[in-house]
Structure 1
Amino acid sequence: MKILYATSEAVPFCKTGGLADVAGSLPAALAAQGVETAVVLPLYRRVREQFGPELEYLCYDYVDLAWRRSYCGLFRLIRDGVTYYFLDNEQYFNRPALYGYMDDGERFGFFSRAVVRMLHHMAFWPDVIHCNDWQTALIPIYLKDDGVREERFRSIRTVMTIHNIEYQGRYGTEVVGDLFGLDHGWVDDGTIMMDGDVNLMKAAVLCADAVTAVSPSYAEELKYAFFAHGLESVMRRCAYKLSGVLNGIDMKRYDPAADQLIAANYSAADLSGKAKDKAELQRMMGLREEPDTPIIAVVSRLVSHKGLDLIREVFHDIMELPVQMVVLGQGDQQYQEFFTWAQSQYPGRMAARIDYSEALSMAIYSGADLFLMPSKSEPCGLSQMIAMRYGTVPIVREVGGLKDTVHPYEAWRDAGNGFTFAAYNSGDMLFVIRQAVGLYRDYQEQFRRLQQRCMAGDFSWGRSAGEYVRIYCGITGQPAPQFQREEPAAAPAQPEEPPAQPEKGPEQPKLTGKPEQAKLAGKPEQPKLTGKPEQAKLAGKPEQAKLAGKPEQAKLTGKPKQAKLTGKPERAKLTAKPDQPKLTETAGQPAQSGEPEKKPRAKKTAARKPAGKKSAAAKPAAKKGSAAEKKTAADKAKE
């Protein structure tokens, strides 16, 4: 199976948000599951500057977009088992930032058109093109449009992943032909239209073979007006092909035991290093160095849907608690100004950095005690997973991916991995913050176990990749790649071995010639003989069976005189039937000598000889038995 992952950003090449983390981790996880995966990206200026020497130039072609005919170069870079393709056009992509330009619609319209038209120049023809957000939403539409005229495009299936439905790619109707080069029929039948505007997200949802959201809860929320931003009717209509697949994080990258960006490493078994990281964070941010004061952290884009209004409403109430607070992020001016002012109001207890720094964010994740994320809407969220990975307990609102990853703490049974509240209400948020601070200060052992449960969570991409493979198989009809890999290894070995053992063992099991170790021929297991002389059974368990050295353990017969060994004392043979083997022809008959067994002598012999050897009482019995048989044969001859 071949998957082409189309995205506008991906770690480590370019990043503005969570989409880059997903695009940087999911393709590698798919490749690890046997899926041949490639990623296609625009060749931005920052990519060329940082990775230029590693890029391999393949070819160039011209791409038609409406009345424009534009150059498109194709570059390649192979990394971690994944092939990355970069589409080059300096007019559109040689700019300092990724987004935020007046012609973004034209820029990513060109990118979507180039992905489709440059397929024949790439190393493989994909079975599925996986699109992400509005920047690649035109790809399913172009495939449908070109497929009418060119049969080669009809075999390609598409998946559309919604990372944040708030951004839909909305434009005026005049762009359909002039900007995107599409026939006006796409407008007339309503496929690309929503509320009087061109809506690229709506068109992609209708045209894609499968639609996914980045968490199960978010997939359900998209059917309601509060979360869907006007597309709720479309999402309900396409519910039959909508799935929620929870994002993951790179567990190797975010590992407190090996992370090189933090001051001290630590693990769930030994959290002593986290105390050192906390002290380092307090020094970096200018906070008072108080090891017993909990630090509440916020690492976020400073925008309204992150729930920052709730923090602003009860900020003074939070600071009345014995806590310190750290904020890192940038965004809307109103929130930047608020947190800058808050820092001046509580010097030594509140610190804000209106910026984004990877090193500082990791210092906060590892050094803070509580992580506050009261989002109004949160499709998935990665920050809470990273925080838990570093033993920083999350405080979140039960929405989207936060609800799927953080489970409320329950003191009565010592369960859960964080603190949650349901209503979008500052009072409810303040209540659970007080709970978390109280647990930290008064119940340190319980808080430590809570941290360990956070760190033990599985947020790996392997789980998510398996779900995407299932979706790919569903729309292509192809079997899962892992089944194809396992089939050749499993076929030759298993069926042959079981029949090979019964041919030697159960037919004629024999005890070995060494009296100190009784073995079945052809099998490593040693059988146990039952205590009843008339029915000596082979033990069904593989434990080692011993001949009676002690009369209370694994006896040959109930009475030593009744069980006779066959002619050769060095090889005691069992009969052909493994379920009821007979020791001698007279097994189960009364003792011929009529003399009782001398138990003290048997115990003395057992003590003197190792377990598994024949007892001294067995030898005379065998001799007398032989003499009696001869006498009986002589009397019959005389008669």
Structure 2
Amino acid sequence: MKILFIAAEAAPFIKTGGLGDVIGSLPKALNNERIDTRVILPLYSKIDKEKYNLNFLKYVFINLGWRNLYCGIFETKLNGVRYYFIDNEQYFFREKIYGEFDDAERFAFFSKAAIEILPHINFRPDIINANDWHTALSIVYLAILKDKSYEYFSRMSSVLSIHNIEFQGRFNCELLDTLFDIEKKYHNALIYDSDVNLLKGGIQLADRINTVSETYAQELMYPYFSFGMDRILKIEKNKLLGIVNGIDYQVFNPNKDKNIYFNYSKTTYKEKVKNKLELQRELEFEVNPEIPMIGMVTRLTDQKGINLVLEVAEQILDMGTQLVVLGTGDKHYEILLKELEKRRKDKVRALIMFDAILSSKIYAACDIYLMPSKSEPCGLSQLIAMRYGAIPIVNRVGGLKDTVQPYNLETKEGTGFTFESFNAYDMLYAIKRCLDVLYYDKASWNKLIKNAMGYNSRWKKSAQKYLEMYKEIEKTDFIS
């Protein structure tokens, strides 16, 4: 079996969030199962060609409406996976990956190029797995080529992976002909609520759709979680499958992580406290092993529940805790967090930045990891936190519900603490329950750390489920 991933980002080349982590890890896990897995990415100007040994293969031209566009093709191999990069400086020599005025045109070009270069790189995948709205058009362009009886593409099947349905690629309908070069017979697939909706086109034309957790797949049937897409997903629900993400155990490994102060493992977890003491010194907190440290590495948005934290921040701090928040996002929340830090300089640090080294230090140092998301397709932070022995407190939605088992004081089973509604005081009560165990029952707390660090979030488990999905597609196509 041959699998091709088409995505807008992938670690370590370029990453803005969870999508980059998944595309940086899942193909490697599939390749370890002896599946020929390859990835196509845009060649952004921020990707270091020398560092990653990118080699120029050839160039072709891609027709997009009235435009005949240069498409350079680069390749490299990393961790056994072959990566291809689409080069066009007009579209990808930018300061930002997303949020440009011409994103529609940029990703239409990329999606079309990713399909049309396949004969030129001599790769004929059985499955094309597109990811989120940026590459959903690749499924549409594949369907058009198959409909035109191009033999090279005739046996290829398609999967659309939805990592976050909030972002859908919505544009003016006028772009269908002039920009996307889409024939009229496909217009209905792409139009939704009077707009072009690229994600909807991928959903309707893909052979399978998957989301990144089982609960999130169920939640998308409801308007509260679906951002308006529940109507089309209910029609296509027989194609929808939830597969929870994993994390790369080579990247996220407290026993070998060079970014943290002291390494430790599940068997030497008591060394973890040394990381807290060092981070307390670095952040100029009171240095005291008995003070619980709560950490967050997150985007500062409503969806991540920052509003809940700010609503009851004083009560959280009055429980005797220290709070460290690392991230960027809405300016409103950035300002409010800095104001909180100014008021409670002894207990709060608002680190308005993205810093991979500091994020590792926070995971290794904090006792508690707070993740009160309003919705969470899967979430990787809670998986990383458990790997580092930081006990997650989460809202029971999406992948948080699937991956964090509520701690049971009687049986000593579970990996964290949960609350059932998006409410600041429900979250506060979960924090209190967690602190009661930490303060008053050290034996149970130590068992909880071992439970969390022992949770299996390896990609190998998830990769097997992706393989089952791919094989089912092949089987279905063969029967049809």
Using the size of structure 1 for normalisation, the TM-score is: 0.73
2:60 alignment partner, SS class: strand
Once residues 76 and 413 of structure 1 are traced to their aligned partners in structure 2, the CA distance between those partners, rounded to angstroms, is 52
- Residue 124 of structure 2 corresponds to 125
Shift of 1:65: 0.5
- Residue 288 of structure 1 corresponds to 286
- Residue 77 of structure 1 corresponds to 76
Per-residue CA deviation, residues 439-477 of structure 1 (Å, 9 max, x unaligned), is 111111110110010000100000111011111111112
- Residue 41 of structure 1 corresponds to 41
Change in 2 beyond 3 A, CA 1:44/1:325: same
Where do 1:319-358 residues align within 5 Å?
Answer: 319-358=317-356
- Residue 60 of structure 1 corresponds to 59
Once residues 374 and 269 of structure 2 are traced to their aligned partners in structure 1, the CA distance between those partners, rounded to angstroms, is 33
Amino acid aligned to 2:36: E
- Residue 184 of structure 1 corresponds to 184
Amino acid aligned to 1:97: K
Once residues 268 and 69 of structure 2 are traced to their aligned partners in structure 1, the CA distance between those partners, rounded to angstroms, is 58
Once residues 49 and 128 of structure 2 are traced to their aligned partners in structure 1, the CA distance between those partners, rounded to angstroms, is 28
Where do 1:628-639 residues align within 5 Å?
Answer: none
Where do 1:529-608 residues align within 5 Å?
Answer: none
- Residue 101 of structure 1 corresponds to 100
Larger Rg: 1
Moved over 4 A (4+): none
Q: Is the 2:276–2:364 Cα contact (8 Å) retained in structure 1?
A: yes
Q: Is the 1:143–1:154 Cα contact (8 Å) retained in structure 2?
A: no
1:477 alignment partner, SS class: helix
Change in 2 beyond 3 A, CA 1:343/1:216: same
Once residues 403 and 290 of structure 1 are traced to their aligned partners in structure 2, the CA distance between those partners, rounded to angstroms, is 33
Once residues 251 and 55 of structure 1 are traced to their aligned partners in structure 2, the CA distance between those partners, rounded to angstroms, is 26
Once residues 478 and 183 of structure 1 are traced to their aligned partners in structure 2, the CA distance between those partners, rounded to angstroms, is 27
Q: Is the 1:286–1:351 Cα contact (8 Å) retained in structure 2?
A: no
Q: Is the 1:4–1:126 Cα contact (8 Å) retained in structure 2?
A: yes
Once residues 358 and 152 of structure 2 are traced to their aligned partners in structure 1, the CA distance between those partners, rounded to angstroms, is 49
- Residue 431 of structure 1 corresponds to 429
Once residues 48 and 21 of structure 1 are traced to their aligned partners in structure 2, the CA distance between those partners, rounded to angstroms, is 18
Q: Is the 1:72–1:114 Cα contact (8 Å) retained in structure 2?
A: yes
The structure in which a higher percent of residues are strand is 2
- Residue 316 of structure 1 corresponds to 314
- Residue 498 of structure 1 corresponds to none
Once residues 225 and 51 of structure 1 are traced to their aligned partners in structure 2, the CA distance between those partners, rounded to angstroms, is 44
2:393 alignment partner, SS class: strand
Where do 1:505-544 residues align within 5 Å?
Answer: none
Once residues 205 and 427 of structure 2 are traced to their aligned partners in structure 1, the CA distance between those partners, rounded to angstroms, is 41
Change in 2 beyond 3 A, CA 1:324/1:212: same
- Residue 374 of structure 1 corresponds to 372
Where do 1:406-485 residues align within 5 Å?
Answer: 406-477=404-475
Shift of 1:49: 5.0
2:47 alignment partner, SS class: helix
Shift of 1:130: 0.5
Shift of 1:154: 2.1
Once residues 269 and 466 of structure 1 are traced to their aligned partners in structure 2, the CA distance between those partners, rounded to angstroms, is 28
- Residue 202 of structure 2 corresponds to 204
- Residue 398 of structure 1 corresponds to 396
Amino acid aligned to 1:178: T
Q: Is the 2:13–2:48 Cα contact (8 Å) retained in structure 1?
A: no
1:336 alignment partner, SS class: helix
Point out where structure 2 has 5 or more consecutive residues left out of the alignment: none
Once residues 123 and 304 of structure 1 are traced to their aligned partners in structure 2, the CA distance between those partners, rounded to angstroms, is 45
Amino acid aligned to 2:7: T
Q: Relative to structure 2, which stretch is displaced further, 146-155 or 287-296?
A: 146-155
Amino acid aligned to 1:247: N
Where do 1:162-181 residues align within 5 Å?
Answer: 162-181=162-181
Once residues 185 and 23 of structure 2 are traced to their aligned partners in structure 1, the CA distance between those partners, rounded to angstroms, is 33
Shift of 1:80: 1.2
- Residue 115 of structure 2 corresponds to 116
Per-residue CA deviation, residues 552-587 of structure 1 (Å, 9 max, x unaligned), is xxxxxxxxxxxxxxxxxxxxxxxxxxxxxxxxxxxx
Q: Is the 1:370–1:392 Cα contact (8 Å) retained in structure 2?
A: yes
Once residues 118 and 16 of structure 1 are traced to their aligned partners in structure 2, the CA distance between those partners, rounded to angstroms, is 26
- Residue 246 of structure 2 corresponds to 248
Q: Is the 2:124–2:152 Cα contact (8 Å) retained in structure 1?
A: no
Once residues 84 and 165 of structure 2 are traced to their aligned partners in structure 1, the CA distance between those partners, rounded to angstroms, is 26
Shift of 1:185: 2.9
Point out where structure 1 has 5 or more consecutive residues left out of the alignment: 480-639
Shift of 1:478: 9.3
1:38 alignment partner, SS class: strand
Change in 2 beyond 3 A, CA 1:123/1:151: closer
Shift of 1:378: 0.3
- Residue 148 of structure 1 corresponds to 147
Per-residue CA deviation, residues 567-617 of structure 1 (Å, 9 max, x unaligned), is xxxxxxxxxxxxxxxxxxxxxxxxxxxxxxxxxxxxxxxxxxxxxxxxxxx
Shift of 1:148: 2.2
Q: Is the 1:377–1:399 Cα contact (8 Å) retained in structure 2?
A: yes
Shift of 1:272: 3.0
Once residues 28 and 348 of structure 1 are traced to their aligned partners in structure 2, the CA distance between those partners, rounded to angstroms, is 44
- Residue 28 of structure 1 corresponds to 28
- Residue 8 of structure 1 corresponds to 8
Per-residue CA deviation, residues 334-377 of structure 1 (Å, 9 max, x unaligned), is 11001100101111211110001000000000000000000000
Amino acid aligned to 1:355: M
Once residues 373 and 441 of structure 2 are traced to their aligned partners in structure 1, the CA distance between those partners, rounded to angstroms, is 28
Q: Is the 1:144–1:154 Cα contact (8 Å) retained in structure 2?
A: no
Q: RMSD of the alignment, in Å?
A: 1.2
Q: Is the 2:299–2:329 Cα contact (8 Å) retained in structure 1?
A: yes
Q: Is the 1:256–1:266 Cα contact (8 Å) retained in structure 2?
A: yes
Shift of 1:48: 3.9
